[in-house]
Amino acid sequence: MAKKEASEAKASVRLYYEISDGKVKLKNKKCPRCGSVMAHHLKPVERWACGKCGYTEFVSGKK
């Protein structure tokens, strides 16, 4: 199983994912505003939300 490292342009989306043994694992993402660990939500849209300061970052890149 080879890793694809050629597409660096899409690295920002995959930055918080870790693929091991064919399974996708989420990495903890830190809030850029206050530094707290952000929560990942899938619905209604995929996004990261900080429960501390309310910062929300939407995950784009899906087509």
Binding region for Zn(2+): 31, 34, 50, 53
User: Which one of the spans 7-15, 17-25, 36-44 is the region binding Zn ion (CB under 5 A)?
Assistant: 36-44
- What Å distances lie between residue 14 and 6, 29, 53, CA to CA? 13, 12, 24
Hey, which residues between 1 and 30 contact Zn ion (CB under 5 A)?
none
User: Which one of the spans 2-10, 15-23, 44-52 is the region binding Zn ion (CB under 5 A)?
Assistant: 44-52
31 is a site residue for Zn ion (CB under 5 A): yes
On whether the CB atoms of residues 11 and 20 are closer than 8 A, the answer is no
52 is a site residue for Zn ion (CB under 5 A): yes
